[in-house]
């Protein structure tokens, strides 16, 4: 089953051709040192780097985006979860630096790959960045190095894509490389769950690899959970995020049914939450966004199709969530006097979730498109986003006919809007019991 996926991908990406290419560099045995190279210094890689520094590792954070490398080395963190102070402390200690130079991975005993795994234009897995990272590190992997993929992907990615690339391009002197998959579970903006206290799944290609991977993650995380294969770890990650996608879709659909009957869906969810077992509350919203929930389940649906199956339930959940921005646009416009031809709509919060400035896959883009189609004049406000799709934010005193609270950001003071009597469609359940506020 996995072999067929592998063959398709390897053939497509021309990896067979690359196998003949060998690079000679002097390598050392990486068995003893505590030097970690992390490929990708984003929402996953940078927090991992800081956690590893705290655990006593020396970390080289490699990123192919040179401007980001320069920013990090200047002590300015590109992500909300890592403060400038924490980053500056790590840099000053000499235990961390960012680099765009792959040759430095030759010093590492552990290399973790934390690069994006997005969708392509057909909304199918795009592993080009992952393959690019594996290809770039391979010539510099020292003997006895552990290579771990933390990127989210479909089952078989480590064994069928990463291992063949590294094995085919590694230096001649490197006779033994260990491989594992340990999908990252970080939840950006979460004040409770971090790299350290979130249990880490670890699945490796053989016993020695598993021992090394567990020892590595046990040095950084409170708990490492051993699973029997990398495919189990990869599939578990897809299941976790698909679980969220389908439950959000369920509650988004349910919210529409409740609204049509004049029932407050949040009161229903609160009521159902009083059941002490078998129920977990999810809240409706504008849709799903970010690099995980809208993307990872489509890795699952693609993987299902490659294996001759269909993940119909997941596809259906994806459709329900994608229909939400249109529903929200229509609800908001129904609050405006029908005589106004081009209503002015203020969107509050464009990031995909509170506490982050991340606008990747934000459902607010589709919301804005639907509002525009209906002739609305749109502006937006988000204290954590300075620019979005070539436009700038406005202040909260922007004169509007209706406001849509899409993402309730910290530092967003809505009192002045409420005091002005602006009608607000609250998609976040954070403005309860106020006049002029409609809840999703």
230-260 and 296-306 helices cross at what angle (nearest 10)? 110
Which residue is nearest to ligand NAD, using beta carbons?
42
Q: Which of 185, 368 has the CB closer to ligand NAD?
A: 185
362 binds ligand NAD (CB under 6 A): no
x/- string (CB under 6 A) for ligand NAD, residues 419-438?
--------------------
Name which of residues 65 to 84 contact ligand NAD (CB under 6 A).
65, 68
Compute the least distance from the CB of residue 364 to ligand NAD, in Å.
Answer: 17
**Which range touches ligand NAD (CB under 6 A), out of 37-45, 160-168, 259-267, 431-439?**
37-45
292 binds ligand NAD (CB under 6 A): yes
- How many helices (H) does the chain have, and how many strands (E)? 15, 13
Number of residues that this document lists for the chain: 440
Both tokens of 19, joined, read 């196998």
Tokens 């960045």 -> residue? 129
x/- string (CB under 6 A) for ligand NAD, residues 176-195?
--------xxx-x-------
Q: Is residue 292 among the annotated active site residues?
A: yes
- Residue 202: phi and psi, rounded to 5, are -135, 120
Name which of residues 98 to 137 contact ligand NAD (CB under 6 A).
114-117, 129, 132-133, 136
SS3 for 178-244 is EEEECCCCCCCCCCCCCCCCCCEEEEECCHHHHHHHHHHHHHHCCCEEECCCHHHHHHHHHHHHHHH
Active-site residue, from 221, 292, 400, 427: 292
60 binds ligand NAD (CB under 6 A): no
Residue among 112, 151, 174, 242 that touches ligand NAD (CB under 6 A): 151
- Residue 110: phi and psi, rounded to 5, are -135, 135
d(CA 140, CA 135): 10
Q: What is the largest CA-CA distance in the chain?
A: 76
165 binds ligand NAD (CB under 6 A): no
Q: Which positions lie near ligand NAD, rule CB under 6 A?
A: 39-45, 62-65, 68, 114-117, 129, 132-133, 136, 151-152, 184-186, 188, 291-292
Task: Give the residue numbers marked as catalytic.
Answer: 292
């Amino acid at each position: 089953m996995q072999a067929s996926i592998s063959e398709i991908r390897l053939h497509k990406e021309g990896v067979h051709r690359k196998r003949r290419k060998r690079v000679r560099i002097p390598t050392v045995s990486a068995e003893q040192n505590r030097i970690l190279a992390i490929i990708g210094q984003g929402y996953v890689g940078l927090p991992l780097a800081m956690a590893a520094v705290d655990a006593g590792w020396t970390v080289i954070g490699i990123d192919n985006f040179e401007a980001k490398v320069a920013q990090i080395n200047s002590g300015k963190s590109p992500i909300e979860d890592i403060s400038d102070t924490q980053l500056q402390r790590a840099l000053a200690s000499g235990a961390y630096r960012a680099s765009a130079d792959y040759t430095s991975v030759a010093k590492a005993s552990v290399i973790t790959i934390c690069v994006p795994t997005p969708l392509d234009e057909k909304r199918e897995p795009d592993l080009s960045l992952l393959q690019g990272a594996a290809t770039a590190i391979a010539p510099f992997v020292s003997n006895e190095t552990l290579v771990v993929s933390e990127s989210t992907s479909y089952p078989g990615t480590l064994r069928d894509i990463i291992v063949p690339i590294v094995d085919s391009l590694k230096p001649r002197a490197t006779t033994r490389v260990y491989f594992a998959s340990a999908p990252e579970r970080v939840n950006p903006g979460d004040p409770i769950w971090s790299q350290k206290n979130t249990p880490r799944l670890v699945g490796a290609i053989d016993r020695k690899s598993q021992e090394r991977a567990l020892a590595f993650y046990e040095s950084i995380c409170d708990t490492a959970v051993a699973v029997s294969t990398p495919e189990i770890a990869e599939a578990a990650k897809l299941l976790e995020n698909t679980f969220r996608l389908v439950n959000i879709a369920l509650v988004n659909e349910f919210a529409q049914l409740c609204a049509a009957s004049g029932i407050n869906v949040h009161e229903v969810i609160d009521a159902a939450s009083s059941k002490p077992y078998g129920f977990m509350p999810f809240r409706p919203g504008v849709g799903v966004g970010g690099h995980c929930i809208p993307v990872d389940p489509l890795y699952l649906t693609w993987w299902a199709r490659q294996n001759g199956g269909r993940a119909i339930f997941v596809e259906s959940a994806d459709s329900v969530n994608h229909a939400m921005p249109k529903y929200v646009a229509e609800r908001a416009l129904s609050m405006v006097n029908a005589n106004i031809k081009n209503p002015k709509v203020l969107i509050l919060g464009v990031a995909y979730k509170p506490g982050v400035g991340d606008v990747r896959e934000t459902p607010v883009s589709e919301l804005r498109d639907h509002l525009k189609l209906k002739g609305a004049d749109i502006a937006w406000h988000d204290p954590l986003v300075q620019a979005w799709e070539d436009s700038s934010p406005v202040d909260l005193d922007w004169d509007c006919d209706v406001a849509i609270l899409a993402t309730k950001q910290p530092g967003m003071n809505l009192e002045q809007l409420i005091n002005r009597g602006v009608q607000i469609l609250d998609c976040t359940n954070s403005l309860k019991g106020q006049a002029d506020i409609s809840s999703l």
